[in-house]
Structure 1
Amino acid sequence: MRLVLSIICLFLLAISVSPVRAQLEQSMRIEIPSDPNEAESFDVTPLAERGVLMTIRTGSFTDNAPVRLNFQKYDTNLKPVWHTEFKQDIKYKPVTTYKSDQYVYHLFREYDGSQYQFLRLHLDDGVIETFEGKLIDQLDVHEFKVMGSQAYVSGFHHGRPVVMSFSFFDRTVKVLPGLYANRTEISSLEIDEARHEVNVLVHSLRRHCKFSIRTYNYDSKLLRTLDFDGAQNSLISGKLLPVNQQESILVGNYSTDCTPYSQGIYVARIHHAEGGSVSTTETVNDIQYIEFSQLQNFFNYLKPHRQQKLLAKAQKRKEEGKDYKFRYRLLVHDLKPAPDGLTLVAEVYYPQYRGSTLAYGGYLRGADRYEGFRYTHAFICGFDKQGKLLWDNCFPIKELLSTELTEMVQVSQQNDKMVLAYPNDGEINTEVIQGSKVVKETEKFKLKTNAENEKVTFSAQDNLMAWYDRHFIACGFQKIAATKNSNAGQREVFYLNKLTYSEETTSVETDKATTRKNDGSGR
């Protein structure tokens, strides 16, 4: 009897402590044939629970071929919802896009001239509207956003920053005042839908590197200016997140020597003053500077020996009364609201060149030797609603080189955990964290085709986006060949994969859940 009870207890104990098995599953996939000899481009826009939008552009000005935009909306099971086509005038070239809750906007401009076209695509039914107007000639567009029936375009004109508003209603153009100055850069253009305001974050490259937030109303009039003196710490970039009607939190990276190289991150609480006059200014309740060495896990991408050596060197310099200057370039993501405050995600990168040693020990730097941006790691921080740092973590990025500086690391909230992921060479790399803890170390998931007798021989322009709930979208170009017939030719496709991150226990209940999951629902 005791033996039977012991066996039962051990069986129950084994079930209760059964390990958690987390994995990224390829639940659905569609392939669109791609012709390498044709001028075509693909763009994917996730729409959360509303599905996903695929945009295929064919034709080009250089080939004197008709330019067409094919828009296809899919639901969350990658089933077609609607399809529409737009034939573009060949005189226009694409510049950039912007997505709001209801629309996707495309910005086009003349190849030679100041004429611009704004295309508005309604996400519910695919209805297309276009608006045309003249902005400024020789404008290097930096950002494009829309609020209500007004578009805002920021960029540089003869090396000076400029922001313009364009009304879809009457086609009028206004230049936002107070921005056109030498040695000044626009850090970001922020739309505040709740207050119906536009915030332009400006970084001066002059002495002390002053950082400013200029706030404009819907009519493009300057309401107020908030300046941060960079005499000691100069703010490089900033992202705003409204906490409530009276307060916002500003987060970004800072430097101590007026260079693009960051020494750490900063957090500022901004109190919004009542009224809307130009003389009214906002106040900063508190600003804290957090050096990288103060973050608990920032250097975890390094091997333990290198990490200890770096931190020891920085500490020794401080004890000697000297500053230790970090030299990191950061790509700061938009701030994400969290139940207890907000989350900051930033990726660390550096430009990579192919260097040829010269006679005087230098390196040849030229456009023909530029390779792209090399990513080393991402770090993620959690703050409360008062801007206090709660935790930080690190996600190492291995051997990732991109020709464009884009956000590679994607974040999916899974209850009290976060799944961090990035694509590379046909694979998805994931890590699961819970605050400052790493719940599951980096894993690799290889993207597959729909057929067992096929294999991916080449992958390019891999992209990954957080979609909704526990789902991601992976897309890019692949060459696919049959595994059984080596003489068969390869086909090239643009793929769209729905990936689902699941966490389940290896028990009897798990087997039942797996059976339900594979019943064809695709959810």
Structure 2
Amino acid sequence: MLYMRYLLTLLFSLVLVPLLAQEPPAQPIRLELPFTTEDVEAEVIALPDSSLLVYHKTSNTWETEATFHFTKYNSRLEEVWTDTAALAPDSDYIRYYTTGPYTYLCFSGDNLRDYTFVRLHHKTGKTWHKQFTIEPLEAIYEYKVLQDKYFIIGRNRKDRKPLLLHLNPDSGEVTPLPSVYGEESTFSDLLADHEQNRVDAVITESNGRVSRLQVKSFDANGKLLNNYFILQRENVNLLNAEITPGDTTEKMLLGTYSTRDLRFAQGFYATPLASRVVEGNFYSVLQLKNFLKYMKPNREARTRRREEKRLQTGRNSGFNYRLLLHDLIVTPTGYILAAEAYYPQYSSPRSSNLGLTPQALTLYRLADEYKRSHAVALGFDKNGILLWDNAFPLTGVTSSELRHTVEVQHLADGRVVMAYPENSKIVYQLMNDDLYNDEKTELELMPYEENEKIQSTEYPGIIRWYGNSMAAFGFQRIRNKESGTRQVFYINKITF
């Protein structure tokens, strides 16, 4: 009897664990705001103190008048404070950066040289804003702030190449910083390391045939502190990298590499910055346990066999992946590097209209959209040793611009969640190290009341928030049997 009792207990635990693992995320709180897509532009930003900042702009039809609102909500989605900023009516939100007690928001105007920066104090809601005319720029891709000084990556108005600028908001002085050199060089990462009081810019230098990395470090005033050229192994090109925080002896570069065509990656690598030489830790796609799991099992097996034969005969890798890296996630034990595998989609070329052959026309075509095959996450320790990898198939996920389509969050229990919005659903994948789950998991967003129905969802989004919680948001049309239809901007707290 005792043996049977132990056996039943073991069987019950084996059944119980998968059931618990399949329990859907909770939706404990929902906030609805009376916004419509016709009248309001809105963004949701997670703050370091477990609160949310909601920005929204209201304007008239001709955009000759506009009001810019900023409201903070606590973790229970209760309003903490609200304020407005008197910006030019043609100002359009671009992006934000958060550090310490402030969030910095950037707005562009109809004149592509004019940019307005807003600084918000998280605790008081006090705002500061100022418009700057930045002559060299016609677009801003990224910016970071160190000691209230701005480091901006943008597109050069003259040659349309990327450039790095330093902006002193007190004096309004804009200074170009030494950065990109090669014809096809670009920026891979920009990190404001506040503990070290420096900004690190990771630059991919390329002449179209070979590429290498260099890292330039600046102080808050834009003074160059150090320049690191990362030497690499023969026949290996370092495509891009994310840099870790810490002092020079601790900093790591984690990124992708290529063995031939610079457009495609064949694997990942990790290397210490201080060595100035890529010493080891290269991981080809073939070495990763789950990178190819987005394929059906038979196709994955055939692909692996074909690749192994190529390598045995001394040929270069046949894997060709375009990978869009996410910002590095720092964990208590190391780092998580996430990336999305994508490929551009083109419409049929009309060479006769331009007098070009179809082959020549491909050099001038722009992608209509970017389709995703899957996303991956790789866990590294502090020394850059790969601990695990996992994958998230992204069937039917596309974007009109090359931007991130999934959100990635490291949970308190060590798991990683990847998620993206799909109409009124959240599609997600919970990753427990390298244990791959091939089941598609979806969460239907809940309205306020059980008798209500979500009729439509527009501009859905999801961001990581705090702890095990994410925030899903967007515009919805809700049908209530008693009170009729309403249009709202919603925020649903989702807790894994």
* Fold match (TM-score > 0.5): yes
Equivalence for 1:480: 478
Equivalence for 1:459: 457
Query: Could you tell me how far apart the structure 1 residues matched to 2:282 and 2:9 are?
Result: 51
Q: TM-score, normalised to structure 2's length? A: 0.87
Equivalence for 2:177: 176
Equivalence for 1:260: 263
The worse-fitting range, judged by mean Cα deviation, of 381-390 and 251-260 is: 251-260
The offset of 1:290, in angstroms, is: 1.5
Equivalence for 1:296: 289
Instruction: Name the aligned partner's letter for residue 221 of structure 1.
Output: K
Distance 1:32 1:459, change over 3 A: same
CA contact (8 A) 1:103 1:121 kept: yes
Q: Which residues in structure 2 correspond to 1:55-66 (within 5 Å)?
A: 55-59=55-59, 63-66=62-65
Coordinate RMSD, CA, aligned: 3.2
Instruction: Name the aligned partner's letter for residue 224 of structure 1.
Output: N
Equivalence for 1:82: 81
Query: Could you tell me how far apart the structure 2 residues matched to 1:16 and 1:306 are?
Result: 34
Query: Could you tell me how far apart the structure 1 residues matched to 2:438 and 2:307 are?
Result: 30
- What percentage of aligned pairs have identical amino acids? 27
Local SS of the residue matching 1:82? strand
Q: What per-residue deviation string (whole Å, max 9, x for no partner) do you get for residues 45-87 of structure 1?
A: 1125431111111227x81331221111111111111111122
Q: What per-residue deviation string (whole Å, max 9, x for no partner) do you get for residues 285-330 of structure 1?
A: 7243221111111101110011111111111212222113322111
* Aligned counterpart for 1:495 among listed residues 486, 490, 494: 490
* Aligned counterpart for 2:221 among listed residues 219, 222, 245: 219
**5+ residue gaps in structure 1?**
272-281, 502-523
The offset of 1:96, in angstroms, is: 2.6
- State how many pairs are aligned: 483
The offset of 1:156, in angstroms, is: 2.1
The offset of 1:184, in angstroms, is: 2.3
More strand, by proportion: 1
Q: What per-residue deviation string (whole Å, max 9, x for no partner) do you get for residues 223-271 of structure 1?
A: 2222235762222211011355622110111222352221111111122
The offset of 1:454, in angstroms, is: 2.0
CA contact (8 A) 2:469 2:494 kept: yes
Q: What per-residue deviation string (whole Å, max 9, x for no partner) do you get for residues 348-402 of structure 1?
A: 1222345489999999989999653222211111112111111111122222223
Q: What per-residue deviation string (whole Å, max 9, x for no partner) do you get for residues 145-182 of structure 1?
A: 11112011111212233211112333332221354664
Query: Could you tell me how far apart the structure 1 residues matched to 2:162 and 2:300 are?
Result: 40
Equivalence for 1:403: 400
Instruction: Name the aligned partner's letter for residue 81 of structure 1.
Output: V
**5+ residue gaps in structure 2?**
none
CA contact (8 A) 1:177 1:221 kept: no
The offset of 1:18, in angstroms, is: 5.9
Local SS of the residue matching 1:19? helix
Local SS of the residue matching 1:321? coil
Equivalence for 1:198: 199
CA contact (8 A) 2:149 2:221 kept: no
Q: What per-residue deviation string (whole Å, max 9, x for no partner) do you get for residues 191-219 of structure 1?
A: 12122112222222314223221222222
CA contact (8 A) 2:254 2:270 kept: yes
Distance 1:474 1:195, change over 3 A: same
* Aligned counterpart for 2:16 among listed residues 11, 19, 29: 19
1:236 aligns with 2:229: no
The offset of 1:331, in angstroms, is: 1.6
- Bigger radius of gyration among the two: 1
Distance 1:495 1:353, change over 3 A: farther
Instruction: Name the aligned partner's letter for residue 403 of structure 1.
Output: S
Q: What per-residue deviation string (whole Å, max 9, x for no partner) do you get for residues 451-494 of structure 1?
A: 22222222232211221112111112222234x58xx9643322
The offset of 1:110, in angstroms, is: 4.0
Query: Could you tell me how far apart the structure 2 residues matched to 1:19 and 1:356 are?
Result: 56
Query: Could you tell me how far apart the structure 2 residues matched to 1:365 and 1:66 are?
Result: 43
The offset of 1:123, in angstroms, is: 0.9
Local SS of the residue matching 1:376? strand
Equivalence for 1:508: none
Q: TM-score, normalised to structure 1's length? A: 0.83
Equivalence for 2:150: 151
Query: Could you tell me how far apart the structure 2 residues matched to 1:415 and 1:445 are?
Result: 21
